[in-house]
């Protein structure tokens, strides 16, 4: 009997590393054993947690500053202990949050063009946790709302413009391993060292649902999918790596659970809400597996695997606004290697036509926020505002696209320099790689 091949427009997606000269090299990448990706990227900047003596620091580079970075580059260095997590604000490409073993969270304003001297004074200092803060996650649609998770088993949700706590979540009996918002920020899902998953109302701290997750002894991760289901990675009792899909309203049993392999690296699920593709990136793995999610069983469909010879220490994922639409690029990763190299990997869909491929690109999250922090805490929910990706496309003759940066409410005491009206990126894609030129 002939095999029936599942029809998918992403069946032929392939990944390709660009040439080393267009990557970022000679970086003192952190040696921390913390379960973090150590990297965050947006259409303007690349941020990487670095190894530093006498405190915690991270590196911020404009995307066009490729090549050898060196050891004398200015850093963002205001923490008293190691930095554990960093995250760019989805509503302001110049704003980044960092968390640390020093129990604090700091918000930093990065000027256009990057920093020229080491930055030690944060824009906002958030102090409430009693132990190290392992994760920072921005609200997907509400301006200035930031979630922080600490080893004190507490979650705080902040309005960073006022440095005030909007809500406190104190329902975990052991260390929280991961936290993620749902699509509109009305719920969060957590994984915990007690091997339980919890769906929580982030405004009240009420546990809406809870259930036993992966039963292995190593950390599990859980994220929300766009339709409200939950995707998780973890380990079985026999230490085999697994992934699973769950109904957020019934965590008593997974909708599906699949065993992958017996490797011991923690799997970080990275989800593209526009395409439904889930990338699995394991600490210490040299491969990136990717799957397509569909609402119908069996839910998760294997697409392919990107293989390389070097294991990854950390990973960053570029938002859709920063991709090369003219080259049918649907994803781009910034992979940290133990050698100090940050390797850029581009995932594209091969197409013969040079016209805009509207079947590949749904409207994507815009930089503009949908609601304010006050509206959110008072019960207003809103999906992220969307922008047509066609607006970022200038046609096959010239792969240059203008991204208008709209003025946004200021979250700092002193107003930063205004963003330029447009950022032009000339990204040349060839067999040799991607060249970034910011004009």
SS3 call for 244: strand
Mean pLDDT within 168-173: 98
- With a cut of 60, say whether residue 368 has pLDDT above it: yes
- How do residues 233-292 score in pLDDT, each as one tens digit? 999 999 999 999 999 999 999 999 999 999 999 999 999 999 999 999 999 999 999 999
Q: Pick from 125, 121, 72, 69: which is nearest to 100 by CA?
A: 125
| C-beta of residue 333 within 8 angstroms of C-beta of residue 345 | yes
Instruction: Tell me the per-residue pLDDT of 277-329, one tens digit each, with 9 for 90 and over.
Output: 999 999 999 999 999 999 999 999 999 999 999 999 999 999 999 999 988 99
pLDDT digits (tens, 9 = 90+) for 63-116: 999 999 988 999 999 999 999 999 999 999 999 999 999 999 999 999 999 999
CB 373, CB 382: distance < 8 Å = no
pLDDT-based confidence at 415, cuts 50/70/90? very low
Average per-residue pLDDT for the chain:
90
The secondary structure element, H or E, covering residue 178 is: strand 176-181
Report the distance separating Cα 83 and Cα 102, nearest Å: 8
> For residue 20, which phi and psi values (nearest 5 degrees)?
-60, -30
Question: β-pairing, 124-127 with 386-387?
Answer: unpaired
Domains and CATH numbers, the chain: 17-169+352-439 (2.130.10.10), 171-307 (2.130.10.10)
| Per-residue model confidence (pLDDT) at position 400 | 31
Instruction: Please check the confidence at residue 14 and state whether its pLDDT lies above 60.
Output: yes
Residue 416 has pLDDT above 80, yes or no: no
Residue 419 has pLDDT above 50, yes or no: no
pLDDT for position 405: 30
Tell me if 202 sits within 8 A of 270, measured CB to CB. Answer: no
Which one, of 312, 298, 313, 325, lies nearest residue 389 by Cα? 325
What's the CA gap between 35 and 338, in Å, rounded?
A: 16
pLDDT in tens, 17-35: 999 999 999 999 999 999 9
Sheet containing 221-224: which strands, arranged edge to edge? 221-224, 230-235, 241-246, 256-261
Alpha carbon distance 200, 90 (integer Å): 22
C-alpha–C-alpha distance, residues 89 and 114, integer Å: 16
Q: What is the band of 408 on the pLDDT scale with cuts at 50, 70, 90?
A: very low
350 vs 200: CA distance, rounded Å: 41
pLDDT above 50 (res 398): no
pLDDT band at 394 (very low <50, low <70, confident <90, very high): low
């Amino acid at each position: 009997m002939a095999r029936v091949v599942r029809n998918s427009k992403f069946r032929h997606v392939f990944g390709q590393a660009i040439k080393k000269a267009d990557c970022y090299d000679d970086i003192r990448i952190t040696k921390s054993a913390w379960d973090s990706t150590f990297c965050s990227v947006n259409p303007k900047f690349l941020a990487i947690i670095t190894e530093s003596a006498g405190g915690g620091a991270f590196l911020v580079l404009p995307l066009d500053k490729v090549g050898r970075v060196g050891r004398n580059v200015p850093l963002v260095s205001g923490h008293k202990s190691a930095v554990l997590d960093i995250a760019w604000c989805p509503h302001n490409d110049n704003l980044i949050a960092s968390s640390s073993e020093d129990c604090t969270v700091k918000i930093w304003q990065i000027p256009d063009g990057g920093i020229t001297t080491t930055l030690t004074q944060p824009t906002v200092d958030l102090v409430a946790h009693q132990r190290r803060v392992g994760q920072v996650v921005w609200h997907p649609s509400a301006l200035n709302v930031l979630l922080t998770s600490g080893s004190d088993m507490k979650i705080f949700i902040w309005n960073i413009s006022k440095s005030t706590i909007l809500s406190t979540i104190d329902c975990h009996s052991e260390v929280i391993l991961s936290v993620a918002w749902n699509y509109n920020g009305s719920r969060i899902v957590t994984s915990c060292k007690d091997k339980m998953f919890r769906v929580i109302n982030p405004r009240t701290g009420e546990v809406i649902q809870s259930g036993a997750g992966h039963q292995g002894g190593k950390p599990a991760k859980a994220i929300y999918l766009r339709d409200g289901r939950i995707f998780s990675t973890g380990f079985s009792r026999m230490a085999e790596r697994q992934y699973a899909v769950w109904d957020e309203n019934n965590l008593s049993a997974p909708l599906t659970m699949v065993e992958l392999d017996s490797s011991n690296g923690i799997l970080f699920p990275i989800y593209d809400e526009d395409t439904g593709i889930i990338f699995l990136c394991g600490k210490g793995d040299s491969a990136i597996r990717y799957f397509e999610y569909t609402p119908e069983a069996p839910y998760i469909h294997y697409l392919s695997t990107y293989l390389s010879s070097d294991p990854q220490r950390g990973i960053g994922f570029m938002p859709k606004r920063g991709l090369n639409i003219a080259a049918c690029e649907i994803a781009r990763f910034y992979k940290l290697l133990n050698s100090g190299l940050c390797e850029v990997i581009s995932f594209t869909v091969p197409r013969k036509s040079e016209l805009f491929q509207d079947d590949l690109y749904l409207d994507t999250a815009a930089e503009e926020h949908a609601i304010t922090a006050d509206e959110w805490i008072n019960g207003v929910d809103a999906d992220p505002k969307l922008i047509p990706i066609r607006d970022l496309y200038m046609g096959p003759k010239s792969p240059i696209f203008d991204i208008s940066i709209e003025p946004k409410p200021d979250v700092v005491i002193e107003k930063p320099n205004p963003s330029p009206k447009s950022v032009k990126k000339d990204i040349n894609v060839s067999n040799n790689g991607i060249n970034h030129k910011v004009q």
